[in-house]
């Protein structure tokens, strides 16, 4: 199936305006697990590229670089990749803990779909920042709210919850668990502001 730019942007718009229906359509695709893991790796790589581009136009202050806060692309990929993988399992298990019914495959589908939408909006924001930093900042704030609303509805559909409060609870639990475990793993691997992979 070939997806052109206009079709993709329409899908992004639909996901924001009608996230529940968009989530149902994404789950109905029944994408193989292997393809989903590949998709997750791809959005992680694209996130690293976008971060690198942002650093080119807004370099980190020299004082922060001197203190070891600069990371190489590999370091960024390690952080983002580990976070994404753990977040998938976090959403899966957190949802199950509070009565959700979503499978791991369905969770992967939702997370990959959401990350693709988020990445698209970040790319648009990057383009706007090049034109006007203030417009880019305003767009970023607006899209942040839209993405939170979108993801809550995605998780609500994924786990078959009867209200968005449970979806928000699952997201918060997943974020806390992911942050704690990824922090431990990255510390063991030596990846971080003062780690050896910078």
Which of 173, 154, 51, 144 minimizes the C-alpha distance to 108?
154
Taking the chain (198 residues) in consecutive chunks of 10 residues, what is each chunk's mean pLDDT?
A: 78 94 95 95 91 71 46 78 95 96 96 95 90 90 94 97 95 96 87 50
22: nearest Cα among 9, 8, 11: 11
- What does pTM read for this prediction? 0.87
């Amino acid at each position: 199936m070939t997806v052109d730019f206009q079709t993709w942007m329409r899908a992004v718009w639909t996901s924001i305006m009608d996230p529940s229906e968009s989530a149902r359509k994404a789950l109905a695709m029944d994408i193989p697990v292997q393809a989903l893991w590949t998709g997750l790796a791809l959005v992680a790589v694209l996130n690293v590229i976008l971060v690198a581009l942002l650093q080119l136009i807004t370099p980190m202050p020299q004082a922060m670089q001197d203190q070891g806060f600069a990371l190489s692309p590999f370091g960024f990929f390690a952080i983002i990749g580990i976070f994404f993988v753990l977040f998938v399992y976090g959403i899966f298990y957190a949802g199950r803990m509070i009565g959700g019914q979503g499978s791991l495959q369905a969770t992967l589908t939702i997370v990959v779909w959401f990350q693709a939408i988020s990445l698209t909006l970040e790319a648009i924001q990057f383009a706007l920042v090049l034109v006007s930093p203030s417009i880019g900042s305003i767009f970023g704030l607006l899209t942040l709210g839209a993405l939170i609303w979108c993801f809550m509805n995605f998780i609500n559909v994924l786990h078959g919850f009867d209200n968005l409060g449970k979806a928000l609870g699952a997201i918060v639990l997943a974020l806390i668990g992911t942050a704690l475990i990824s922090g431990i793993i990255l510390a063991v691997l030596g990846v971080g502001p003062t780690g050896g992979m910078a």
